[in-house]
Structures are given as C-alpha cells and as structure tokens.
Amino acid sequence: MPARDEASLAVGTEKKGRREEGHEGGEKRYEGPWWRFPPLRNALASGALLVLAFILSRVAAVPDWVSIALYVAAIPLGASHWGREAVEAVFRRRVNIDVLMAVATVGAAVLGLWEEAAFLAFLYGAAEGLEEYAYDRTRSAIRALLKLAPAEAHVLRDGVETLVPAAEMEVGDLFLVRPGESLATDGVIRRGSTSINEAPVTGESMPVSKEPGAQVFAGAINLTGAIEVEATRRFQDNTLSRIIHLVEEAQEEKTNAQRFIDKFGSRYSPAILLGALALLVVPTLFGGDFRLWATRAITLAVAGAPCALVMSTPVAVAAAIGRAGKRGVLIKGGLYLERLGSLTTVAFDKTGTLTKGRPEVTDVVPLNGASPQDVVGAAAAVERLSEHPLAQAIVRKAGKERVVVPAAEGFQALTGAGASAQVDGHRSYVGSPALFQKLGADMAEALPAVARLQEQGKTVVLVGDERTVTGAIAIRDEVRPEAREAIESLRRSGIRRVVMLTGDNERTARAIASQLGVDDVRAGLKPDDKVRVVKEMEGRKERVAMVGDGINDAPALASASVGIAMGAAGTDAAIEAADVALMGDDLRAVAYAIQVGRRAQGISRQNIVFSVGLLAVLIPLSVVGSIGVAVAVIVHEGSELLAVANGLRAAISPRSA
C-alpha cells in the first residue's frame, strides 16, 4: 500500500478523496463487480499483456522487440493507479512506498529488465487494486443499512394517504406503516400497537412491543399491526443515517499504533531509498559491476517497502468498526477500539444500566388478617393520585393483578414519609416503617417482614391506618434479565474486575451486586464522586470502561479510558458523551464491544509482527543478492495481500459474542 505518512493518512484520506471525487455525488463509492473496479481493471489488462508477451517470447519465438513492446505497454497500465500517487508524492517532496516502487520500475526498465519492470508494475497494481477494493467494500458495508429504510413512505395528509419519497418527508408528517413494512424515518407512534424488529438499529434480536407514544427508528421492521407514526426527524437526519455517518467517520480515526507506523513510515521510506542509492553508488565507485549493484539496489527498494506494515492496522480497524456498527455498537474511532482491546476493569452505573430504571413491586406481605388483594387495593387507592415512582409501581401492580381499587379522596402527600387519603370512610396511610412508628401503629407483626425484605435490598412500604398495619409491599428497581450473563461474558473476555458505582444506599447496592456477581460496590456517590473513583482506578494502572446512560453519567464517562453509553438510539446527548454508544439496552453488547476490540488488536499485532519479521529477512537477502527483483516483488505483494486478508477477519463476529 502507498505510504501513509503524516500528511497522507493511513489508508489515506487523500486516496479516499480521489475515489469519491471520481464518482457523482461526492460521497458515492464503487459498488460494481470487482473486476471492473478501475485500479483492478487496469492491472488485469496489464497482466494480460504480460502473459501474452511471456508466451510470445518463450513459445512463438517472435522478435524481441515485439515482446518488449508488450512489456512496455503493460507498465503504464499496471502503474496507472499507484504511479499517479508516486508523481504527486514527488511534487510534494515526499518519499513513500509508491515512490520506491516507481524508482524500482524505472530502474529495471533502464537496465533493460523489461519483464521484471512489467511484472513489478502489474503485481503491485493488482495488489493495490485488490487492497483498495477490499478497503472500499469494508468502509462501504455499513452503508447497506440505508437500504433497510424504504425510499418512499405512505404519508397521511388531510386524511388522504399519499406515497411520497422518504427524502421529502418533513418533521411532523404523519405516515402509515403496515405489517411487513420498514419505517422510512424516526418517529413516535400516534395510533396503533405493534411488535417491531429493531435489530438493524439497536442490535436487539428479539421483537419489541410498541404502544402509542413509543419511539421508533428508521429501518426497523413493523411485524404485526398497522401503525400511524409522526416523523421526528427528516430522512437525512434519522438514526440510521447518523449511525452510518458516525461509523464512516470513526473508520478514519487512527489508533496509536497507526500513528506510530505513519511517523515511522515517513522516515523509513526515505531511508530505504537512500540505502538503495548507496548500494548502487558506493560499490560502483570502488570498481563494482554497475549492473549487478543496480539490480540489487532495485531489489532492495522493492523488498524494503513497508506495504504490509502500513496495512497491519487500518483494514482491521475499519472492518471491526464497520461490523460493530451493524450490530448497533458505535465505536467512535480507532483509538477507542484500541482501548477496548486493553481494558482491565468495567465500572457500571446501577440505576437504568444494571437495572431497568423503573421500580417494580416484588413482594406483597399481608398482615393482621388482610389478603394480598386488600393490601394492594388499599395502597393503590391512595397512591394513584401520586406521581412518585414508588407510587406508580404500586398502581401498575394493581393493574397487572386486576385488583379492585376503591375510590379515595382527600389525598395528602407526606413529604419524605408517604401519603394518605380517605378510603371507604377512614384514613389510610401508605409509607415508610418510620411513618407508622410515628403514628403509633402496632408494628409487632410488621417488623420481621420489614427486616427480611430490607436485607434483600428492597424498599419497604407499609399499608394501614393509625392503629394497624395491614400489609407490607416490597419495591425494587429490578436488574436487567441479561445482566448476570453480561458480567460473566466480561470475565470470559478477560476483564479482571467489575465495579458498581451508584448513588443508591449501601444495602440496596450490595444486594444487587451479590445477585449479579459484581466484585466491588461504591454506593452513595454523587456524579463528581463517580469521577473521583474512576480516576482512582485509572491511577492504579487499571484501564477502565465506564458504562452509563450517557447523560447523567457524562462526567464519569469522560474520565474513563472508554466511556460507553447505553440505549443511545435517537439520543444525541448520549452519543456525544461517550466513546462507544450502544444503540440498544442489552448489556451483553458491552462484552461484544470489548471482544471486537480485543480481536482487532490481536489481528493488528499479528500483522505487525509478520510485517517486521518479513522486512528483517528480505532486506539482508536483497543486499547480498540472494533474491532477485522477481522474487522480491512476489513476496512483497503476497505479504501485502496477506496483511489485508488477515485484517478483514476483524469483520467476523467473535465466537463468544
């Protein structure tokens, strides 16, 4: 691959720019068959001329000038792509891999080694073409997601259904989506209920039930019922388009390894050219055979070109980020992919991350002769007039159990203690055990139940009046069903420590941590306390990922080596706050992201070791004349293609994901 020095980025933004300028629309990339990809097409034509010249010279015994003419014609065809970049590099006064190849090709031709010159131009052109095509397809694979959103939508205007291009839809348009159809853009359901497959956006494989008021995303597939959706984003700005844009930007960002290789390459390539020049001049000045040492100098220029080294990381980065993006995991750059691969600790926020973020009733304990239905009904009668999250959990419980809820009046909120209302002619209370102790109610039967439930990390609400406690209701923000499996996956991925950071009380936090197998718990933390804890862990040489909602936990996300925001689909703030954005709410995606990072890092290291080892062997062999130009070209281009092929393996999902 041409050198990607500091001014010519790894897998070059310059090359990317030229590719895009060559297509209408600026951002369009090549999508035809591989053999019609311009660099490959020209290289194949060069190869055909090379084969014809070889056959004619070896079999038909034609005059030398015929085969030479064919070799001469094959050279500019094979070098049509990389030759232009070599000329541009010379005009910029830079020496890169293209310049080394150009010097070797011209040198071979000057020495009359027409076959070798044509062979070098063809093989390097073919390798470059295949690499460009593979990289282009890797970068463009994420764009296939756009095809999931329909080009047209059934927009309802003045009650009339009209088929309009999706690109012409405006925010506020109401559009109809029938079963089996995909959503053209992001929106909110205004009428109808359904089940939706959101896998293209969030990576969630199971269908999600949606009711009026629920948010839906472009590209999601409507499975069951017809729905009317109000557009909240234009087609050009929808979640699917933003995912594609973010992934493509991220694929251009470099890892530390890439930056080092770029810097190294900007010095190494000129050194190889100077070394080749010295190999020609010095022995010749001392009476050496000019042709012999010129051939060795050409061989050194080819053998020493660091193509495989330069390609050791970029393809793996692009492939990994693209693959993760299609699974609803947005990694915002090569640097963060690299950091994912070296994490030792994962810190989770509790509420809304390890837990569902919505309190639910877990236990109903009737006391003093009451029934469970009596307890829930009396509590719901009081609490349905309250907006408190615990009150709403009790009301939802009554609805699920279809409990008859008596009428209540005279509602009164008791700040920090509970609430009361007039139910069936007498005042009922719902609140903390401290409230009933203050009222002077008989707590003898209630206290053992309260102690038992609180030991489990649950919030206990009592129901009754001034004299009698009729029941206890335990409420807890339940853990996500996949949370324990996700933590086990993290351990299998090589994470040494899992930490919970929460503002909740110590007892509740430890109960949930015990349930999930978390190693360390830090409770009662304010946002700045979470930042302090993360910095402490980083100070102990731990490489920490912080997982949170991306908004409330933004300071801690920014302080960690990698900030991971969950449930970021449709949320600009969450995506902005984090280095990695999980479009869905499945905690298992955290382990998947880390596995992708580790895999990409491992592949990059393999390529680097392979490339450096190959250079260490080829350079001495070329200097002492143990290999010729043809062998150097074959090994050089073969190693480049091997590095590309190995890098593309990063697009394969890890087995344990």
DSSP 530-595: HHHHHHHHHHTT--EEEEE-SSTTHHHHHHSSEEEESS-TT-HHHHHH-SEEESSS-THHHHHHHH
Task: Name the amino acid, one letter, at 98.
Answer: D
- How far is the C-alpha of 482 from the C-alpha of 353, rounded, in Å? 11
Convert the pLDDT of each residue in 54-84 to its tens digit: 888 877 777 888 989 999 999 999 999 898 9
- How far is the C-alpha of 87 from the C-alpha of 84, rounded, in Å? 5
**Residue 89 DSSP symbol:** H
Helix or strand or coil: residue 269? helix
pLDDT at 566 > cutoff 70: yes
pLDDT for the residue 2 = 38
User: What residues does 355 pair with on adjacent strands?
Assistant: 479
Give the Å distances, CA to CA, from 262 to 8, 169, 257, 613: 8, 44, 9, 18
pLDDT at 452 > cutoff 80: yes
| Residue 519 dihedral angles phi and psi, to the nearest 5° | -75, -40
* Between 458 and 33, residue with greater pLDDT: 458
Q: Which of 460, 406, 387, 464 is nearest to 430 (CA)?
A: 464
- Please tell me the total number of residues recorded for the chain in this structure: 657
For the chain, count helices (H), then strands (E).
24, 22
pLDDT for the residue 206 = 75
pLDDT for the residue 145 = 74
**Domains of the chain listed by start with CATH number:** 13-142+246-320+598-651 (no CATH), 150-234 (2.70.150.10), 343-355+480-595 (3.40.50.1000), 357-479 (3.40.1110.10)
Span 215-235, mean pLDDT?
92
pLDDT at 334 > cutoff 50: yes
Tokens, residue 414: 């008791």
- How far is the C-alpha of 299 from the C-alpha of 634, rounded, in Å? 11
- How far is the C-alpha of 341 from the C-alpha of 594, rounded, in Å? 6
pLDDT for the residue 14 = 35
Dihedral sign for Cα 496, 501, 506, 507, please. negative
pLDDT at 40 > cutoff 50: yes
Torsion angle in degrees (nearest 10) through CA of 534, 536, 541, 545 = -10
Calculate what percentage of the chain has a pLDDT beyond 70. 92
Q: Which of 474, 467, 413, 391 is nearest to 436 (CA)?
A: 467
- How far is the C-alpha of 648 from the C-alpha of 657, rounded, in Å? 18
User: What residues does 366 pair with on adjacent strands?
Assistant: 471
Convert the pLDDT of each residue in 380-436 to its tens digit: 999 988 888 889 999 999 999 999 899 888 898 887 788 999 988 889 999 999 999
Assign 3-state DSSP to the chain and report helix, strand, coil percentages, each to 5: 55, 20, 30
Helix or strand or coil: residue 355? strand
Least trusted range by pLDDT, from 1-15, 217-231, 249-263, 389-403? 1-15
Convert the pLDDT of each residue in 76-130 to its tens digit: 999 998 989 899 989 998 888 889 999 999 999 999 889 889 999 998 888 888 8
Span 138-160, mean pLDDT?
82
pLDDT for the residue 570 = 64
**8 A C-beta contact, residue 347 and residue 521:** no
Torsion angle in degrees (nearest 10) through CA of 149, 150, 151, 153 = -120
Q: Find where tokens 């992201």 sit.
A: 593
* Between 283 and 387, residue with greater pLDDT: 283
Q: Which of 468, 508, 293 is nearest to 366 (CA)?
A: 468
Task: Name, in order, each residue with C-beta under 8 angstroms of 510's C-beta and a sequence gap of 6 or more.
Answer: 457, 521, 523
Q: Find where tokens 């990809």 sit.
A: 37
Task: Name, in order, each residue with C-beta under 8 angstroms of 226's C-beta and a sequence gap of 6 or more.
Answer: 176, 177, 178, 179, 192, 194
Task: Name, in order, each residue with C-beta under 8 angstroms of 533's C-beta and a sequence gap of 6 or more.
Answer: 347, 499, 501, 522, 525
Tokens, residue 44: 């194949």
> What's the chain's average pLDDT?
86
pLDDT for the residue 258 = 83
Torsion angle in degrees (nearest 10) through CA of 392, 393, 396, 402 = -120
pLDDT for the residue 504 = 81
Convert the pLDDT of each residue in 185-208 to its tens digit: 999 999 999 999 988 788 776 788
Confidence of residue 259 (pLDDT cuts 50, 70, 90): confident
Tokens, residue 79: 């070098």
pLDDT for the residue 31 = 67
Least trusted range by pLDDT, from 254-263, 531-540, 588-597, 640-649? 254-263
Span 260-283, mean pLDDT?
90
Span 292-311, mean pLDDT?
91
pLDDT for the residue 229 = 96
- How far is the C-alpha of 552 from the C-alpha of 502, rounded, in Å? 12
| Residue 295 dihedral angles phi and psi, to the nearest 5° | -65, -40
Confidence of residue 213 (pLDDT cuts 50, 70, 90): very high
- How far is the C-alpha of 379 from the C-alpha of 511, rounded, in Å? 26
pLDDT at 25 > cutoff 60: no
Confidence of residue 365 (pLDDT cuts 50, 70, 90): very high
- How far is the C-alpha of 114 from the C-alpha of 122, rounded, in Å? 12
Tokens, residue 311: 């390609």
Helix or strand or coil: residue 462? strand
Confidence of residue 266 (pLDDT cuts 50, 70, 90): confident
What residues are labeled active site?
Answer: 349
- How far is the C-alpha of 204 from the C-alpha of 208, rounded, in Å? 9
> Given strand 544-548, what is the order of strands in its sheet?
329-331, 580-582, 562-565, 544-548, 345-349, 497-501, 520-522
